[in-house]
Amino acid sequence: MSTLPRVDLLDAAAFDGGQPHETFAWLRDHDPVHWHDEADGPGFWAVTRYDDVKAVGRDAETFSSAYGIMIPGSGGQLGGGAPRMMITMDPPDHTGFRQLVVPEFLPNAVREMVPQISELATQIVDGVIERGECDLVTDVAGLMPSYVIAEMLGIPHADGVALYDLTETIHSTRDPDDPDAGMRAVMEMLQYAHGVWEDRRATPRDDLSTTLAHATVDGEPLSELDFGMWFLLLVDAGGDTTRNLVATGMHALLEHPDQLAFVCDDLDSRLNPMVEELLRWVSPVVYMRRTALRPAKIGDTHIAEGDKVVMYYGSANRDPRAFDAPDVFDVTRRPNDHVAFGGGGPHFCLGARLGRAEVQALLREVLTRLDGLRLAGEPDWLASTFISGVRHLPVEFRPGTRSTG
């Protein structure tokens, strides 16, 4: 075994500039189920190979989500009093919760939304096109998921943007000068959800908020807190994932001008495979954690009951055991069975189709309308070990004209 490089997957600095692919490559080859120490916790297993990531994600009977999906925290259960949020529930409870919203995310439902999503993409690009410069993250990429989830929940676009800002505060590293900021943001989100809950309980409408406010699981109505948690999850899950895919994906394209030109030559046939390659390349969700409910084996490694097990999607997506020339950015890659939306278990991304539709529509507008698009400064990377992407990406282009009044 060659010498272990410094592996610190809990150090946000290791993710500044993208995911630590050299470390991942070493781990996949030499220690694919790696025991990782943790200063404030019991430590965890870092799973880095494609097949192992898929196997863990698909085995919810052994690997539970109910103890938390992020690394911090003990292997201990969240507790009976913890609010119920689908992403931290196991089957069969998870199944009933997920069924409540599945119809809104089915292929037909997403297909019906595509014209509206395309219109939003036009509006977003209209917002910057006359200026000839913008921040591709905050002025373009971040607006799409906020607007789309606002449409689905039946709230104003501006509120969707404000709620998304709250999720950013919730995820930010604790600021010693304002240690309660995260909790305040959660309370603000729940306060907003409270208003929507009261309104839809009294006056049902044709939106997802109404569906959830009147939903029952196993004959039991959802509580107001359950409703608030749904709100938080829906605003949160599609937000920085989609934003980072668009902005960080555009950064990758601008760094590979030959690939960009190739796609633009025939956008209709090349856009969708390009988005799949961006998903593999960027892997906006770095990891999801599970906790072993019983002793298990991953590859040759024995896992004890209660151990935390972490699936590194960005590593699985560069595993040469699953992809030819995985470190080559290739917009024509086929097949491209990446795990950017998860490995296919019960928690597989609910919004995968919706996210794809948002990103395809927005990138189509950006690539066809922002003429001569180029980087106008260095990208500012998100300091996070959980979500990968850029926080700011200054770009320039030839000013153009709006397509709507």
**Residue numbers at the binding site for ligand HEM (CB under 6 A):** 57, 86-87, 98, 145, 149, 233-234, 237-238, 241-242, 245, 284-285, 288, 313, 340-343, 345, 347-351, 354-355, 359
Of 32 and 238, CB closest to ligand HEM = 238
Query: In whole angstroms, how close is the CB of 149 to ligand HEM at the nearest point?
Result: 6
Of 71 and 129, CB closest to ligand HEM = 71
Query: In whole angstroms, how close is the CB of 367 to ligand HEM at the nearest point?
Result: 17
Please report the DSSP string for 120-150 in residue order. Answer: HHHHHHHHHHTTSEEEIIIIIITHHHHHHHH
Query: In whole angstroms, how close is the CB of 101 to ligand HEM at the nearest point?
Result: 8
Contact 349, 341 (CB under 8 A): yes
Of 234 and 309, CB closest to ligand HEM = 234
Query: In whole angstroms, how close is the CB of 162 to ligand HEM at the nearest point?
Result: 17
Of 113 and 350, CB closest to ligand HEM = 350
**How far is it, in rounded angstroms, from Cα 257 to Cα 178?**
43
β-pair type (33-36, 44-47): antiparallel
Residue 63, SS3 per DSSP? strand
Residue 170 main-chain phi, psi, to 5 deg: -60, -40
Query: In whole angstroms, how close is the CB of 26 to ligand HEM at the nearest point?
Result: 23
Contact 384, 171 (CB under 8 A): yes
Residue bearing tokens 């961006």: 278
End-to-end CA distance of the chain: 64
Residue 65, SS3 per DSSP? coil
Contact 372, 260 (CB under 8 A): no
For residue 226, the tally of other CB atoms under 10 A from its CB is 21
Of 129 and 338, CB closest to ligand HEM = 338
Query: In whole angstroms, how close is the CB of 234 to ligand HEM at the nearest point?
Result: 5
User: Which residue, judged by CB position, is nearest to ligand HEM in the bound state?
Assistant: 351
For residue 321, the tally of other CB atoms under 10 A from its CB is 11
Contact 33, 298 (CB under 8 A): yes
Of 97 and 397, CB closest to ligand HEM = 97
Residue bearing tokens 């120490």: 37
Query: In whole angstroms, how close is the CB of 351 to ligand HEM at the nearest point?
Result: 2
Of 129 and 246, CB closest to ligand HEM = 246
Of 129 and 245, CB closest to ligand HEM = 245
Query: In whole angstroms, how close is the CB of 290 to ligand HEM at the nearest point?
Result: 8
For residue 382, the tally of other CB atoms under 10 A from its CB is 25
Query: In whole angstroms, how close is the CB of 311 to ligand HEM at the nearest point?
Result: 8
Of 129 and 190, CB closest to ligand HEM = 190
Q: Shortest CA distance to 34 belongs to which of 60, 10, 61, 58?
A: 10
**How far is it, in rounded angstroms, from Cα 146 to Cα 242?**
10
For residue 99, the tally of other CB atoms under 10 A from its CB is 11
